[in-house]
Amino acid sequence: MTKHYRPMPGGPWFPLVIFGLFGFVAMGLLVAVLRDNGPPPLFAVLFLAITAWNAYWFLWRMATDLWLDGNTLHWKAPLRSGSVDVAGIEKIRPRRMTGNVEMICLRDGRPIITMATRGIEELNGDIVQLHPGLPVRVGRSVRFSNVFQLGGSRYR
């Protein structure tokens, strides 16, 4: 049986639900602004811009499901997916300024980005078994999630 790393609570569909709710809020906000009984238009523009920026990262770039199949690492984000040969991984490191986000840097292409929660070290260990000598670093927040996160490993 294949083990999957799913860092989001509630599964890979969780960001879709959250941004679906944000979509309803954004529509209500626009209607209120157009009827002239809502917040200032600048607030609405900023809210929509921030929502769009976060939607890009959490729906397009952030992998919510990762798994190994032989020597291939597969990943899925809510709106896209991909796979890479483990030999094509250059290094694994925390993202700068956000230790709870892990970047799987590739030789070719953009890095695979995922949340670093309980179980990420197990996934990294399985990757290193297939690619010995791969530089791997995890952020400090992984140690906190190992202690404080409710539930078991997200790699099962």
C-alpha distances in Å from residue 116, one per residue of 14, 46, 109, 113, 142: 16, 29, 21, 9, 6
Segment 29-65, tens digit of pLDDT? 999 999 999 899 999 999 999 999 999 999 999 999 9
Distance, in Å, from the CA atom of 117 to the CA atom of 141, rounded to the nearest integer, reads 8
Mean pLDDT of 96-118: 92
Segment 59-104, tens digit of pLDDT? 999 999 999 999 999 999 999 999 999 999 999 999 988 778 999 9
Residues 6+ apart with CB under 8 A from 76: 12, 63, 64, 65, 66
What's this model's pTM, rounded to 2 decimal places? 0.88
Residue whose structure tokens are 């899925």: 76
| CATH architecture, domain 65-148 | Roll (2.30)
C-alpha distances in Å from residue 93, one per residue of 44, 80, 116, 153: 36, 22, 10, 20
* Mean pLDDT of the chain, nearest integer: 91
DSSP-assigned letters across all residues of 90-137: EEEEEETTEEEEEEEEESSSPPEEEE--TTHHHHHHHHHHHSTT--B-
Residue whose structure tokens are 């020597």: 71
Q: How many CB atoms lie within 10 A of CB 98?
A: 14
